[in-house]
Each structure stands twice: as structure tokens, then as C-alpha cells.
Structure 1
Amino acid sequence: MLRTIEQILGLPPMNVIDATALPIFDCFIIEKHIYQYAYIPNNIPLDERNKPTSQLTGLAKQYIRLFEKVFVAVDGGNDAVMNKILWFDAKGMTPYPVIRVQKIF
């Protein structure tokens, strides 16, 4: 990808690895394709700040308490807890998926 960007911008390769890399030719085509997409306007106000943690209630307050424990150190934390926080934040009260392990023996 770097080699492709260098060629688009007309830059020389930075090193021998860039010089020997193949540009991504397949993503550029001659024919014009017209794709349509559905525009979804933003429904989250971007100029509002987060509430102070003392004003939070319900699940938001529980999430903050869990985050305090998860992010004590750099790269620290429990991935399972973080996944559940993100799941319930996005899906509401939809049950968290359970991985079913099949016994081999």
C-alpha cells in the first residue's frame, strides 16, 4: 500500500523494501462504477460533553465502576468484562452470546 501511495504522489521509494514492493493495481479500474448508498444523518449531538460521573445513574454508573477497575494500568484489564460492557451498551438487554464448547472425548 505504501508503494501505491508513493506512486500516486510521485514520490521516490523510501528504501529498498518500498522499491521492490508491487503497487496495488487491482483496485484501480478504467470503467466508472456508480454506487448508491443510503445517507444516515447523525443523531448524536457532537457539541455536548459527557456528564460528570457523579450525575450518572443505572447502567451508566455500573459501567463507570467497572471501567475504573479495568483501566488501572496500561494495557491492563479484563477483556471479557470489556466485551460485555460494549455488548450491553450496543445491544441493550439482549442476552450476551454464550460460546458452547463441544467435548472431544
Structure 2
Amino acid sequence: MTMLEWLAQGKGELLTAGFLGSVVAAAMEWTGVFPAVRKILVGTISAVYLSPLGLPFLEWVLNGISVPRESAAGMSGFLMGVTGIVVIEIILKAFRIKRDDLNQKIGGQ
């Protein structure tokens, strides 16, 4: 199996779709090279591992529009590549806020 064949099926398709989705997200919110690289890496990894969450979300968003199952995985990967960046950043921000709050309580006593 060649690399191109692997990229066209299964996890390779999710990796490709997630990569392209995260490239789109990074390009739309350009803040520099290093933040863009971080967004692309996080979006790609999120797409590979969070895509099972994307399929039900995709069905809900499309509200009854039928998507062939073989296309749904790629669409889900792309969607998670774009939104996975945002989800991870929200989680990290919540942890930072909690950490800062705990540090303030410890330092204030």
C-alpha cells in the first residue's frame, strides 16, 4: 500500500481532512507562523481522535440531509480539524483560569 492509498482511506482520510480543516482555520485567524503551526497540529490530532464526536454533530447540523457514509468521515474530520482547535483552546483556557484562581487563593491566605 502506498502512502497516497493510505491517505485516501480510514485514519489517513481523517488525518488529511483534519489537516486541511485546521489549515483553513489557521488561515482564517492568522496571528503568525508559530500560532498557525500550533493550530494545525492541534486541529489535525483532534480530527483523528475526536471525529467520532463529529459524525452525530454533522447529522444534527445538516438536519436530515443525507450524506453518504463514505463522505461523512471526511466531512467529520474536516469539521473537527476546524472546530477541534477551538474546543482544545477552550479546555486549556478553563484549566488556566482554574489554576490562576487556586494560585490566588493559596497566595492570598
TM-score (norm 2): 0.27
Greater RCO, 1 or 2 (C-alpha within 8 Å, sep 6+): 2
As a proportion of its length, which structure holds more helix?
A: 2
TM-score (norm 1): 0.28
